Amino acid sequence: MEIAQIVGLALLTTVFLLILRQEKPVMAVLLSIVFSIIIFVFLMEKMASIVEVLKELTRRAEINYFFLATILKILGVAYLAEFAASICNDAGEQAVAKKIEFAAKIIIAVLALPIIVAILESLIELLPG
C-alpha cells in the first residue's frame, strides 16, 4: 500500500510542478526538493529496518562488523549522492549534479579500499608458495 501512496503523491506533485514551472519556476524547484525530502523521510524507517537485519545477520555469522559498516557507508554515499544529483538535475544544474556524482565515486573508491585490500590479502594467503 505504501507504494500506492508514494505514486499518488508523486503524480499529484508532478501535476503541480507542470503548472508551477510555467508561472513560477523557482517555486517548482522548491516543490521538487520538498517532495524529495518527504519521500526520503518516509523511507528512513525502511532503511533502518534493512540495516538492523544486516547487523543481526552479521552478528549471527560472526563476521567482522567493519565490513558491514563499510558497505553501509558506501550505500549511504551512493544514495545521498543520487538524491542530491537528482535535485540538482531538477533545478537545471546538470554540471553540479555531475560533480556530485564524480565526488561520490571517488569517496566510494576510498571507502572500498580496505575491503579490497582484505580480499587481496586473503587471496595471497590461499595461494601456494
Q: Coil, strand, or helix at residue 10?
A: helix
Range of the domain at 6: 1-61
Model pTM?
0.77
Task: List Cβ neighbours of 26 (8 Å cut-off, separation of 6 or more).
Answer: none
pLDDT digits (tens, 9 = 90+) for 99-125: 999 999 999 999 999 999 989 998 998
Of 61, 87, 110, the residue that ends a domain is 61
Instruction: Answer whether residue 29 shows pLDDT above 90.
Output: no
* Spatial distance between the Cα atoms of 126 and 105, rounded to a whole number of angstroms: 31
Q: What is the pLDDT of residue 104?
A: 97
Task: Give the DSSP letter of residue 126.
Answer: H
78/124 same-domain check = yes
